[in-house]
Amino acid sequence: MQGEALCALSCIQFSGVLLVGSLIYRVWEDGWWVDSATAIVIALLFGWEGFKMVRWAQDKNFTGGCCAH
């Protein structure tokens, strides 16, 4: 259940960044660069999620499952 909640939170973060970036790009006439900045922020979020997964997998208490049983 916790894993599903974290996945949903990540999806909300990605969607929020994409929404804000798209709105700025659409409204601001000189915001041509916002699309690229949004892509960089999303890439950083994906990288952070990957880093957390690797760190979790290397933990001494990691059992290979998604639950703490």
- What is the distance between the alpha carbons of residues 56 and 25, in angstroms, rounded to a whole number? 36
What does pLDDT average to over the chain? 84
What number is the average pLDDT over the span 34-42? 89
- Percentages helix, strand, coil for the chain, rounded to the nearest 5? 70, 0, 30
Residue 5 has pLDDT above 70, yes or no: yes
C-beta neighbour count of 21 within 10 angstroms:
20
Instruction: Please name the residues in contact with 41: beta carbons below 8 A apart, sequence gap of 6 or more.
Output: 17, 21
- With 0.95 as the threshold, say if the pTM is over it: no
Residue 19, pLDDT score? 93
What number is the average pLDDT over the span 31-36? 87
